[in-house]
Amino acid sequence: MNPAEVYILNQPEPFRSILMHIQVIIEHTIPNAALKYKWRIPCYYLGETPVCYLNASHKKQFVDVGFWHSAYLSKFDEHLVSENRKVVKSLRYHTLEDIDNDIFIAILKEAEKQKGKSFYNK
């Protein structure tokens, strides 16, 4: 089993359910995305281009879905949290019910378009 999948399955609830739901949405929306285990968290890549990472923050009680290409996602700024980060912005979910599938899918589709682009330059 992929270490990223082990990470997801070993999370306590509600993190496991949130992560599994997110995983299904990502893999359905971007079927070519590869789930890798980097920096001790699950990360999705399209080829060599990172799309997003998944992090269960037990201390802060949310699942963070971080997008490296956030400069290209500006039309979704009202939904994304930057929290003093220069490159990454994220969606944060405290419960499974917090996930708005339509918004998440729209952001994923926009992030998918950035394949091969540098996330340091807009």
Residue 113: per-residue pLDDT: 85
13-24 pLDDT tens trace: 999 999 999 999
Packed helices 101-112 and 15-29: angle between N→C axes, nearest 10 degrees: 50
Q: What is the mean pLDDT of residues 94-121?
A: 83
What's the pLDDT score for residue 35? 97
Average pLDDT over residues 91-118: 89
Mean pLDDT of the chain, nearest integer: 91
pLDDT tier for residue 25 given thresholds of 50, 70 and 90: very high
Examine the pLDDT at 118 and tell me if it is beyond 80. no
> What band does 85 get if pLDDT is binned at 50, 70 and 90?
confident
Contact 67, 60 (CB under 8 A): no
Percent of the chain whose predicted confidence (pLDDT) is above 70:
93
Residue 1 has pLDDT above 90, yes or no: no
More confident residue, 84 or 80: 80
* Burial (0-12, 13-18, 19+ Cβ within 10 Å), 54: buried
